[in-house]
């Protein structure tokens, strides 16, 4: 998508929308992460509005964060406990923080917001440099198998049809570059509003090779936060990497 910058996807409007979003997996995710964090500290890459970081911190673990969007971090700051977390504004591929962590995690497919294989590998390498020897890097991401169901590598989904607004999700897939270009489009009397988001997806096996390049290896993989088995019908994976 020509002219696209990731920060465009997470401006003021979107940040307000994300403020109270719950996916329903929060309790299970926090329990899973708490176990790996031990005494901490933990670092969330792309912390956003703190959907996971805040309840994890409430369990007594120090949780730091990195995010590229000041608007998302403002929403985090406005929540109870949000001003207690150390959050660095920057690109999570750089892991731009000092020190080492017992747990580093990136959830909700956000690793794929890094738009090249090179940036994703760089992220693994920088994570490895910030992990304690017994530390874990947790990645939660989709499995791209659903792409085979697309017709002509595209889809348009009617997200809402109201008397005063229509919302569409418009997506195009490029199998050669592993890119998903998407826009959430709102049509109303107020005009047309576009929310573009671009991702570069990877299969779990490619992530495992990125980890190996970074000197890490896969320690465990599940189909979800409740440690469901990972198999050919899994639509997502929770993967744990370590030394």
Ligand X SMILES: C[S@@+](CC[C@H](N)C(=O)[O-])C[C@H]1O[C@@H](n2cnc3c(N)ncnc32)[C@H](O)[C@@H]1O
By CB under 6 A, name the binding residues for ligand X.
6, 10, 46-48, 51-52, 66-69, 72, 91-93, 107-108, 110, 113-114
Residue nearest to ligand X (CB): 48
Residue nearer to ligand X on the CB measure, 4 or 203: 4
**Minimum separation from the CB atom of position 196 to ligand X (A):** 13
**Minimum separation from the CB atom of position 138 to ligand X (A):** 12
Contacts of 116 (CB under 8 A, 6+ apart): 200
Q: How many CB atoms lie within 10 A of CB 181?
A: 17
Measure the CA–CA gap between 119 and 68, rounded to whole angstroms: 15
**Minimum separation from the CB atom of position 216 to ligand X (A):** 20
**Minimum separation from the CB atom of position 232 to ligand X (A):** 26
Contacts of 190 (CB under 8 A, 6+ apart): none
Residue nearer to ligand X on the CB measure, 10 or 101: 10
Closest C-alpha to 202, from 120, 127, 100: 120
Contacts of 59 (CB under 8 A, 6+ apart): 30, 34
Residue nearer to ligand X on the CB measure, 167 or 243: 167
Residue nearer to ligand X on the CB measure, 181 or 243: 181
């Amino acid at each position: 998508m020509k002219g696209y910058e990731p920060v465009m996807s997470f401006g003021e409007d979107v940040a307000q929308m994300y403020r109270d979003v719950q996916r329903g997996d929060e309790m299970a995710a926090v329990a899973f992460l708490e176990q790996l964090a031990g005494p901490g500290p933990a670092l969330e890459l792309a912390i956003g509005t703190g959907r996971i970081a805040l309840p994890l911190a409430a369990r007594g673990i120090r949780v730091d964060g990195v995010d590229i969007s000041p608007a998302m971090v403002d929403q985090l700051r406005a929540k109870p406990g949000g001003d207690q977390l150390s959050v660095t504004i920057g690109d999570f591929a750089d892991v731009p923080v000092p020190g080492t962590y017992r747990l580093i995690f990136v959830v909700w497919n956000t690793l794929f917001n890094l738009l090249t294989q090179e940036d994703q590998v760089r992220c693994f390498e920088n994570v490895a440099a910030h992990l304690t020897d017994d530390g874990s890097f947790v990645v939660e991401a989709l499995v791209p198998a659903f792409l085979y169901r697309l017709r002509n590598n595209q889809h348009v989904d009617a997200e809402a049809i109201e008397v005063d607004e229509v919302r569409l999700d418009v997506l195009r897939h490029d199998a050669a570059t592993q890119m998903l270009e998407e826009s959430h489009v709102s049509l109303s009397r107020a005009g047309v509003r576009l929310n573009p988001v671009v991702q570069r997806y990877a299969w779990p096996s490619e992530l495992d090779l990125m980890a190996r390049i970074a000197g890490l290896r896969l320690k465990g993989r599940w189909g979800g936060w409740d440690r469901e088995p990972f198999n050919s019908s899994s639509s997502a994976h929770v993967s744990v990497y370590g030394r």
